[in-house]
Structures are given as structure tokens and as C-alpha cells.
Amino acid sequence: MSHITLVRHGQANTEARDEASYDKLSPLGHQQSQWLGAHLRETQSFHTRVYSGTLTRHIETAAGAGYTADVNRDARLNEMLYFPMAEQMETQHGLPIPQEREGFVEHLPKVFAAWEADQIDSPPESWRDFESRVWSALTEIAAGEGPAIVFTSGGVIAMAMRKALALDTDHTARLTLAVMNSSVTRFFPIGGHLTPTLFNAIPHLETPDRQSAQTHL
């Protein structure tokens, strides 16, 4: 097995309330991606294989970091469709969709709990299908030769942590909220299992002049 570096996309459109509007990087998101790429080159963090989801924000982040050729795009690495589920939660359970970004801190765990418990009628995909596709993609990537870098989303990274560490749904939701834009999470094969050895690292954003660029949403 090979080690895998997961990168959450740069900051997307924070004012969006639907999937299509959200799926593009903000100007800051583009800058975060460029800083990450520069850091990887400066530290000679080379990856022989590059993967991303098929969402625009994944592709733009990879390109900003300097990965434009030979990127393997895999829809299994895409984020869950959160906004449609939020609409279903409002219609089916009376849970209002937050109008401010801070409101999602309480909103997302409630959506995850209902989703995992099959309490959302006809979601875009089931919790188990999301879990299965994420883990199948990552285990296939890990089975290849050479270190791999994967440009994806916070929910995918949190689900990978859940599978690796047997986390419950509430902790998975909290991790999803914690994953920072353009952050780096790394899994190494230890004893035949993918094990996290680095989580949510942002070395490219830690200098004093860049600390204001550290974002979750």
C-alpha cells in the first residue's frame, strides 16, 4: 500500500445556498491553492499519482497547486450533496436552512444524524452509499504504487477519518466542520490498514501575513 495525501479544496463561494453556486473557488480559494502548491514544491513533497473529484472546486484547487496534467478524476471523491439534503430537512422535519455561515455549525450535525439514521426520505444518496464510495476510492488509490495526492472535500476527508478510526456520526460531523480550506491530511498504511498520521495541516497559511487566510467556509 502507498500513502495518500488528502487536500480539501480552497475556499469556495461562501454566499451560496445551492450546489451549483457553491462549486467554484473564491479569489481567496485560488490564492490558498497557489500557496499550497508553492509549499509542496519548496518542501519537495512529490507525488507520483494525482487524483481529484470531478467538481469544479476540486479541479481548480489542483490546478492552482500546479497539478494540471495527468490528474485522475473520480466522482467517488466528490462531496455529498448537502444543500439538497438541507432542503429536505426543512421540508420534512422543519429544520430551517441557516442564513449565516455560523448557523451551519449546529445545522450540519443534525443533518448528518438524520441522514445516517435513514430519517431523510429519498436523499440524493444514502449515508452508506456515500461511506462506501469514499472508502472504495481511497483503498483503490492506496493499492497503487507511489505516493498519491487527492484533491477533494471536507466531508470526504471526515468520512475517511471515520472509517480509519471507527468514529461515530456526531464526531464525523464535527470533523467535517473542522477541515480547513486547502488543508492537508495524510494516511499511511500501518499494519495493512490506512491510518491517519497528519490531519488538517495548513503550514502554507501559518506565517503572520497569511493567518487571516485560514478559513473553514
Whole-number pLDDT of residue 101: 76
Q: What is the pLDDT of residues 12-65, one digit of tens each?
A: 987 767 788 889 999 999 999 999 999 999 999 989 999 999 999 999 999 999
Q: What is the pLDDT of residues 106-165, one digit of tens each?
A: 999 999 999 999 999 999 999 999 999 999 999 999 999 999 999 999 999 999 999 999
Whole-number pLDDT of residue 53: 98
Give burial (CB, 10 Å; 0-12/13-18/19+) of 69.
exposed
Residue 195 is part of which domain span? 4-213
**Residue where the block lists cell 497559511:** 205
Domain count, the chain: 1
Q: What is the pLDDT of residues 16-27, one digit of tens each?
A: 677 888 899 999
Q: Supply the DSSP string of 110-146, one letter for each residue.
A: HHHHHHHTT-SSS-SS-HHHHHHHHHHHHHHHHTSSS
CATH of the domain at 115: 3.40.50.1240
Task: Out of 98-102, 136-140, 208-212, pick the least confident.
Answer: 98-102
Cell for 110?
443534525
